[in-house]
Amino acid sequence: MGKEERVLNSLLFGLKHARECGFSILLRTENFVPVGIMTAKKPEMDVSKGKTRLWALGIGLDGKVFKEPLDRYNASTQDFESVLFVENDYGIAVTCRRKPEGEDEDNFLYFDNPYDAAEVRKMASDLAAKDRTIASMNRKLEEMRNLRDFWLQQADAFGEEVRNYREQVSRLSKEVALLRSQIELYKRMAWATEVLATEIEALLRKALEEAQEKGEFLGAEAINKVIMASRKVREFSEEIRGTGGMAVSGTMEEEIVKMRKRLESIEEEMKTKQKAAPAPTAA
């Protein structure tokens, strides 16, 4: 057996039985550089922090004894945290410390456990799928919001039209009610005018009959006035009923009052002429 082979066998024997001796290889995560053989883990009190921390003791590759902490002080939690990355039955201990000294964050390089990394990747895939689902739901939600805004605008427009229609219906209803009341008023006025014309005609006939009995003679001017007054009353009545073409100025009530006054004046004039007429001579 050659020298190199004997050395290799010694190394294999040492590695195979290192766990039985309490030995392990200490590596650093940066480039996985071996520090040396860790022969023991020893807890010691850190006076500055007032707590016990764990230290690694061993022999370095340079043959010198080394000692470094296997934890770090986290100022955020104000407690010590382990910096061992892997420690298994093969006796391999890996620290995330880059160099023996220093508690700064830059002095530590962390690696995920392979099993944890696989779980993290699975969780990342699940999260990506959920993100895609959420993005799709957000797009649908945005479409629904746009659709809602569209129909809301349509509803506002329809509401405005309905309000306009209601106002128009209300206005037209009022106009219809007013027209109905005016129609009823005109009907009553037409009826009153017709009654007035009938009374005037009866009065004139009676006056003419009395004049004939007394042998009196009405002048042409008075007769024409009476005829014109009677004709005007009839035309006014037909205008109210919608059968005449005579233009009527002012309101219906004013025209009736004017007619009444004019007829009263004619009646008085007729009475005056009758009194002034000469008495009939005996045959």
Q: Which of 195, 216, 164, 172 is nearest to 260 (CA)?
A: 195
Alpha-carbon separation of residue 233 from 62, 113, 125, 244, 254 (angstroms): 144, 119, 103, 12, 13
Whether residue 137 is predicted with pLDDT greater than 90 in this model: the reply is: yes
93-100 average pLDDT score: 81
**Selected residue with higher pLDDT from 152 and 252:** 152
The band of 245, judged by pLDDT with boundaries at 50, 70 and 90, is very low
Beta sheet of 24-28, edge-to-edge order: 65-69, 51-60, 34-46, 24-28, 92-95, 84-87
What's the mean per-residue pLDDT of the chain? 76
Q: Which range among 15-19, 104-108, 278-282 shows the weakest confidence by mean pLDDT?
A: 278-282
The band of 51, judged by pLDDT with boundaries at 50, 70 and 90, is confident
pLDDT of residue 229: 61
Whether residue 147 is predicted with pLDDT greater than 70 in this model: the reply is: yes
* In the chain, % of residues over pLDDT 90: 10
Whether residue 170 is predicted with pLDDT greater than 50 in this model: the reply is: yes
180-193 average pLDDT score: 80
pLDDT of residue 61: 87
The token pair at 44 is 């010691």
DSSP 94: E
Q: What residues form DSSP beta bridges with 37? A: 25, 59
Cβ pair 81, 71 in contact under 8 A? yes
96-122 average pLDDT score: 78
* In the chain, % of residues over pLDDT 70: 66
Q: Which of 102, 99, 70, 67 is nearest to 86 (CA)?
A: 70
pLDDT of residue 247: 41
pLDDT in tens, 205-237: 776 666 666 655 555 455 555 666 666 666 665
Query: Measured over all CA atoms, what is the biggest interatomic distance in the chain, rounded to whole angstroms?
Result: 197
pTM flag (> 0.85)? no
Q: CB atoms < 10 A from the CB of 252, how many?
A: 19
